[in-house]
Amino acid sequence: MQRERTLASRVVYDGIGLHSGRPVHMELVPAATGTGIQFARADLPEALPVAATAANVTATLRATTIGAGALKFFTIEHLMSALHVHGIDNCLVLLDAEEPPVVDGSARTFFRLIAEAGTVEQDAERQVTVIDRVYRVDDGSHFVMAVPYDGLRVSFTSLNEHPLIGVQYYNLEVTPEAYEREIAPARTIAYEKEVKALQANGLGLGGSLETVIVYNDEGWMNPLNFPNELVRHKILDVLGDLRLAGMIRGHIIAVASGHALNTALAKQIAEERK
């Protein structure tokens, strides 16, 4: 029997949001059993926390957003990915803005801070989301599916028409050690020609060569952590998005999936289990 886990101590970090570009103070706070992962506004104490669940997903444009009423939190997937792999069942994410810090566009800092804080076992049985049949969501040319597997594995194929990137494939048996080494350092990627359009729509305002990997028709504008960093970051994202359906035990297989398909799969899994 597995037991629920929370943080052994509080985590504090200051940064800026990727899309908002606004400063944000973040605290990850230990939480009681059965709480789950919740996001709350430190500067809006009257507002109720929003549970990080598939049912609360409100948008998936360039990031995963959860919300309830007028309250929303976006670009939660990198933090959720680190919490998922660390096995954190219960945690309050306390922010004074709508978006966690982007840091360098990866999950490496979140993963390290959680490791430094440590985790503690709690007096409640963990409800693992065991994939016991095939779940699949697709839009005709892209798909993501979950199949039974005794563990957690992700196999991802990314498709990009740009000759610099092309087709990339990566397969990972997810453990904290493998994730920290092979996935957590993989950063968000953007095409230079898209940046101005994104910013005109109020997105990517915190993007820079310190927070995003950027490529153009000549090549990469900043050094890569991995030759196939794009597909590794896609695995990072899918682990964050699928955490919205709980602590997953299964094999996730995806081709060119993004936040919309990932969260649709999370909803499908969560609704059936409910």
Q: Residues forming the annotated binding site for Zn(2+)? A: 78, 233, 237
Residue with tokens 């944000």: 24
- Give CA–CA dist 50/31, Å, rounded: 14
Q: In the 3-class helix/strand/coil scheme, how is 132-146 assigned residue by residue?
A: CCCEEEECCCCEEEE
**Catalytic: 84?**
no
Q: Which residue's entry shows tokens 């933090």?
A: 79
β-partners of residue 15 are 24
The DSSP bridge partners found for residue 119 are 7
Per the residue annotation, which of 84, 86, 251, 259 is the catalytic one? 259
Per DSSP, the three-state class of 153 is strand
SS3 category, 147: strand
**CA 89 to the chain's CA centroid:** 15
Known binding residues are: 78, 233, 237
Q: Is the distance from CB of 114 to CB of 28 less than 8 angstroms?
A: yes
Do 123 and 33 contact (CB within 8 A), yes or no? yes
Q: What is the DSSP-derived secondary structure letter of residue 56?
A: G
Residues noted as catalytic: 259
